[in-house]
Amino acid sequence: MDGMDASSDQVIAEMLEMGFEYANVVQALKAVGPSTHSAVEFILNNAGRNSGRTSPASVNNSKFHKGSEKGLRKRDLASSHSVSYVRQSSILDHLRATNESTKRKTDTVLGVPFSRLEVPSGNVEEAKEPLCDMDVDSNILSGNCKVDSLDELDGSSHWEQRASNLLQEHFGFSCLKSFQKEALIAWVTHKDCLVLAATGSGKSLCFQIPALLSGKVVVVISPLISLMHDQCLKLARHGISACFLGSGQPDNTVEQKAMRGMYSIVYVCPETVLRLIEPLQKLAKSHGIALFAIDEVHCVSKWGHDFRPDYRRLSALRENFSASKLEFLKFDVPLVALTATATNLVREDVLKSLHMSKETKIVLTSFFRPNLRFIVRHSKTSSSSYGKDFHELVELYGKTQKSVDKKKEFIPEESHDVFNSSDASRICEVDSLSPYDLDGDQDDYSEGDNSVLHSRSTSGSINGKELSVEYLENDIDVFQSVDDWDVACGEFCGQPSQKEWKLSEIVDPPNKSEERLRLLKEPLERGPTIIYVPTRKETLNIAKYLCECGVKVAAYNASLPKSHLRRVHKDFHENTLEVVVATVAFGMGIDKLNVRRIIHYGWPQSLEAYYQEAGRAGRDGKLADCILYANLSREPSLLPSHRSEDQLKHAYVMLSDCFRYGMNTSSCRAETLVKYFGEDFQNEKCLICDVCVDGPPQMQNLREEACTLLQAIAENYGQSSDVDGLYDGDIHFDPQARRIKGRLSLNMVVRKIREQSQKFLTTEMLWWRGLARVMEQKGYIREGDCKSHVQIKYPEPTKVGLEFVKSNSEQALYVYPEADMVLAAKSNHSKPYSSFSDWGKGWADPEIRRQRLQRMQLNRKPHMLSSPRKSHKRKAVRVKPDLRTCRGRLAAKLSKPT
């Protein structure tokens, strides 16, 4: 190095570290002097001709290090694209091996991403040499799409070894999980693949490995910017270059670069991928597209819980990237679709909507998450129950000292006024339209979206603001828009982590019961908590409450400032936050290993949503709690959303399934959940959920009550004795006609029973509702209304039911009481409900009789109940001036002698 001093040596060492060739570095230093930045700039400015680029993936791949730069140059030449990857000299490898720590420091200090480093190659002669000792076939890396890369992998077991090496090198994992391997086999053999695997099981690797293995680009379609951002950051840490595109992308050069094949993995939302069809076709030709991955693919289906209309248009991928359309392709670019929450209906819809091939491989793993402890607890889920419900959390995280500063730290300033005004508490009042109204008639209960809105909007006004549709829509976090997030960082270039890769603690789930029992004995670690609530305001209310108790908490909903949302993500990932109170906007796919508790505060809208959100707990395989606090004394209602009639019906079915999950007292929770997704539960029970641990309530012989209810229902139809005549099981009455006939709702049926039988005078409506569900499950009654309801509303007897009444058998009907029946019994007697005989006896006691009559009176005049809901209604009515009274007062005033 003639004429170069010590500082030049330093710069050369740094630049070699960065991946530049020695000759180019020396040339640059001669031109601009010993300044790293100037030298880099010099090289980049001269990179126009025959530029070269270092692939971060290849830089990190020791297998690649064995290869010569010549080999890669050959690949560059083979590619018709001007951008090419350049392997760096062995000096670099040597330095990397001997001075790892310096290298990392350099990477960080300079902050120049590998993929930005374009160097003039110049060495055309070298480039002609074969890629002799590379593990990956030159054709695979070349991007020469006439020779399909997967072809070369076909039938070869070498790819498995390569995949394992890459897995170890980039992620630190010792082996692929079997479902990951199956998905990769599908890809290697050019097949489409639908991967259905539990949350946190590692689905992402099914599309990340193909990018590393083939050297081509993998395009991932994802529904949320925050999720894309999260994944890109992670990939960068694992030495894989990635970017996301769309209006949320702050750097407008990234799209162009992505279309030139400069990132191994490109994340896009459906809208963007559809806009980029043409550039992507060019990319497929010039560089190669290994795979289209459609993540969170349940969004495709109208029957899923997060339907996104744009996802349905993704069939365009199959049409535009098929071998019949693009003559340079030998095979269609494979599709891999991935989700953790898809029922059979959703799966079929996905396959059809995306035009996935008939040979699509379906990789299905158990949805069972053995370390998750599912619990359901009754709560009013209003501000009045925070103290009781969050007591344990406060104990766990709370400090004794209340800190106003902390509040400022974790709640965005823009939201302080909400806390300071009385709005929050008032809104809480309105949202808690759920007093323990055991006998409240729900005849006015929601029949559809509009009536949900209507019934809520008549509840009152807040600061003069009527609870209009708009107000409620604002109140509820409908899915966060895909671009409703901003990020500071534009691209994510593969950079090795600052710390050594550690083998993940995640293991394939233990299935043996002893192992699960051992899990149960383990204390629940402190780790972070996410509380999911249905409305934006509730995020603020609960965050405020916990903050005042000294918990490090943040609210998260789509209406909060983006800077705040970004910060919450960051703090949450860095364990600075203990609790995040969020709406659904705290996106799916959040992959944080140590989340210990997922609390749902209020009914989720579906079991899919519930399981998806609960699945963010315990990704490290250690015990984690998933607690659902719900008001078990009331039916949940649908949150407003734009739905077609079909979708509305389906939404009710999903909500109803969720409700039934909560009301169930006798089936293992995990079993119910996995069965919901069509899986045969292999284990007898999970052994750790509340039902498994506490056991179901005592069974009760409810034959008499069931017969009474059935009789009353049948009487309404006047056919209790004519079983064969009308109830042949196939006959469906015109619902309209039945309405005219004066069909009775369940509430009316119960009132009739009370009138007819003293014995059942004090039996709560809540109790009968539970029994109606039990009887529906047994096939004795069914819903007679054409509309959907969360639970049976207009019961009609079935043939089996009528036969049950008709048979005068004394045979007992033992059932497990549902959660609402247990609640009703507790509230009535303060001791477990056993049979009605005690109640009957109670009437002889004058005091009991007096109390019961008093309660009956109250029940008959629901407006007299001093519940918050009712009082609020009254307040709301009072706000409206009664014109007649006003006029009367005015007249009186005018007539008063002055």
Q: Which positions lie near ligand ATP, rule CB under 6 A?
A: 171, 173, 176-177, 180, 197, 199-205, 340, 504, 506, 589, 591, 615, 619
Residue of 498, 501, 491 whose CA lies nearest to 105: 498
Closest approach of ligand ATP to the CB of residue 591, in Å: 4
Sorted by sequence, the CB contacts under 8 Å of residue 405 that are 6+ apart come out as none
Q: Which partner in Mg ion, ligand ATP, none is near 679 (CB below 5 to 8 A by kind)? A: none
With respect to ligand ATP, which residue has the nearer C-beta, 547 or 670? 670
C-beta of 233 vs 469, nearer to ligand ATP: 233
Instruction: By CB under 5 A, tell whether 435 contacts Mg ion.
Output: no
Residue (267 or 681) nearer to Mg ion, CB: 267
* Residue whose structure tokens are 């030998």: 330
Q: For residues 419 and 677, which CB has a smaller minimum distance to Mg ion in the complex? A: 677
Q: Specify the stretch interacting with Mg ion by CB under 5 A; choose among 185-193, 203-211, 849-857, 890-898.
A: 203-211
In whole angstroms, how close is the CB of 364 to ligand ATP at the nearest point? 13
Q: Which residues have a Cβ under 8 Å from the Cβ of 197 and sit 6 or more positions away?
A: 179, 203, 338, 340, 363, 364, 365, 367
From ligand ATP, Mg ion, none, interface partner of 651 (C-beta below 5 to 8 A by class): none
State the nearest-atom distance from the C-beta of 676 to Mg ion, in Å: 20
- Among 477-485, 518-526, 589-597, 824-832, the segment contacting Mg ion (CB under 5 A): 589-597
The residue whose Cβ lies closest to ligand ATP is: 202
| Residue in the shown chain whose Cβ atom is closest to Mg ion | 589
Say which entry of Mg ion, ligand ATP, none residue 398 contacts (CB below 5 to 8 A, set by partner kind).
Answer: none
Q: How far is the CB of 617 from ligand ATP (least distance, A)?
A: 11
Q: How many residues bind Mg ion (CB under 5 A)?
A: 2
**Binding piece for Mg ion, criterion CB under 5 A, among 9-17, 195-203, 215-223, 610-618:** 195-203
Task: From the list ligand ATP, Mg ion, none, pick the one residue 504 interacts with, judged by a Cβ distance below 5 to 8 Å according to partner type.
Answer: ligand ATP
CB of 175 to ligand ATP, least distance (A): 6
In 330-390, where does DSSP find H-type helix?
A: 344-353, 383-389
* The two three-digit tokens of residue 408, written as one number: 């400022």
Distance in angstroms (rounded) separating the CA atoms of residues 784 and 807:
23
Find the shortest distance in angstroms from Cβ 293 to Mg ion: 10
Q: Closest distance between Mg ion and the C-beta of residue 581, in Å?
A: 23
Closer CB to ligand ATP, residue 24 or residue 365?
A: 365
Q: Which of 239, 440, 460, 589 binds Mg ion (CB under 5 A)?
A: 589
DSSP per-residue codes, 287-312: T-EEEEEE-SGGGG-TTSSS--HHHH
Least distance CB 615 / ligand ATP (angstroms): 5
The CA-atom distances, in angstroms, between 766 and each of 225, 324, 715 are 44, 62, 22
Q: Is the CB of residue 401 less than 8 Å from the CB of residue 550?
A: yes
Pick between residue 342 and residue 819 the one whose CB is nearest to ligand ATP. Answer: 342
| Per-residue burial over 850-884, b = 16 or more CB atoms within 10 Å of its CB, e = otherwise | eebeebeeebeeeeebebbbbebbeebeeeeeeee
Alpha carbons 432 and 800: distance in angstroms, whole number: 40
Q: Quote the least distance from Cβ 171 to ligand ATP, whole Å.
A: 6
Which backbone phi and psi does 887 adopt, to 5 degrees?
-60, -40
Q: Which residues contact 797 (CB under 8 A, 6 or more apart)?
A: 710, 713, 714, 717, 727, 780, 781, 805
188/195 with CB nearer ligand ATP? 195
C-alpha distances in angstroms, 119 versus 4, 38, 107, 128? 21, 14, 18, 18
Least distance (Å) from ligand ATP to the CB of residue 527?
A: 15
Q: Nearer to Mg ion by C-beta: 589 or 797?
A: 589
Q: DSSP of 801-816, one letter per residue?
A: HHHHHH-------EEP
202/239 with CB nearer ligand ATP: 202
Which residue, 172 or 640, has its beta carbon nearer to ligand ATP?
Answer: 172
Query: What burial class does residue 734 get, using C-beta atoms within 10 Å of its C-beta: 0-12 exposed, 13-18 middle, 19+ buried?
Result: exposed
Q: Which stretch binds Mg ion (CB under 5 A): 243-251, 419-427, 586-594, 603-611?
A: 586-594
Residue 796 CB-half CA count within 13 A:
23
Instruction: For residues 730 and 806, give the distance between their C-alpha atoms in angstroms, rounded to a whole number.
Output: 20
Tokens of 375: 């619990």
Nearer to ligand ATP, 131 or 206 (CB): 206
Min CB(203)–Mg ion separation in Å: 5
Could you list the residues that contact Mg ion (CB under 5 A)?
203, 589
